[in-house]
Amino acid sequence: MINIAVLVSGGGTNLQALIDAQEAGKIPHGKIKLVLASNEKAYALERAKKHNIETAVVKRKDYGSQDEFDQALISTLKSHQIDMVILAGYLSILGENVIHAYQDRMINIHPSLIPSFCGKGFYGLRVHEAALARGVKVTGATVHYVNEIPDGGKIILQKAVAIEEGDTPEVLQKRVMEQAEWILLPKAAEMVAAKLDEEKTK
14 near ligand GRF, rule: CB under 6 A: yes
192 binds ligand GRF (CB under 6 A): no
Phi/psi of residue 11, nearest 5 degrees: -65, -25
Point out the residues that are catalytic.
110
**Residue 82 main-chain phi, psi, to 5 deg:** -75, 130
- Comparing CB distances to ligand GRF, the nearer of 45 and 196 is 45
Q: Does residue 13 interact with ligand GRF by CB under 6 A?
A: yes
Cα 47 from Cα 68, distance rounded (Å): 28
Residue from the set 12, 30, 153, 186 that interacts with ligand GRF by CB under 6 A: 12
> Is the Cα torsion angle 114, 5, 197, 98 positive or negative in sign?
positive
Instruction: Give whichever of 13 and 92 is closer to ligand GRF, judged by the CB atom.
Output: 13
For the chain, give the longest Cα–Cα distance: 53
Instruction: Report the distance separating Cα 40 and Cα 50, nearest Å.
Output: 16
Alpha helices in 9-164 (DSSP H): 13-23, 44-50, 66-79, 96-101, 125-134
Q: For ligand GRF, which is the closer residue by CB, 124 or 150?
A: 124
Q: Which stretch binds ligand GRF (CB under 6 A): 6-14, 94-102, 129-137, 194-202?
A: 6-14
Query: Which residues inside 143-162 make contact with ligand GRF, applying CB under 6 A?
Result: none
Which parts of 76-105 interact with ligand GRF (CB under 6 A)?
88-89
Note the residues at the interface with ligand GRF (CB under 6 A). 8, 10-15, 44, 88-89, 109, 111, 124, 173, 177, 181
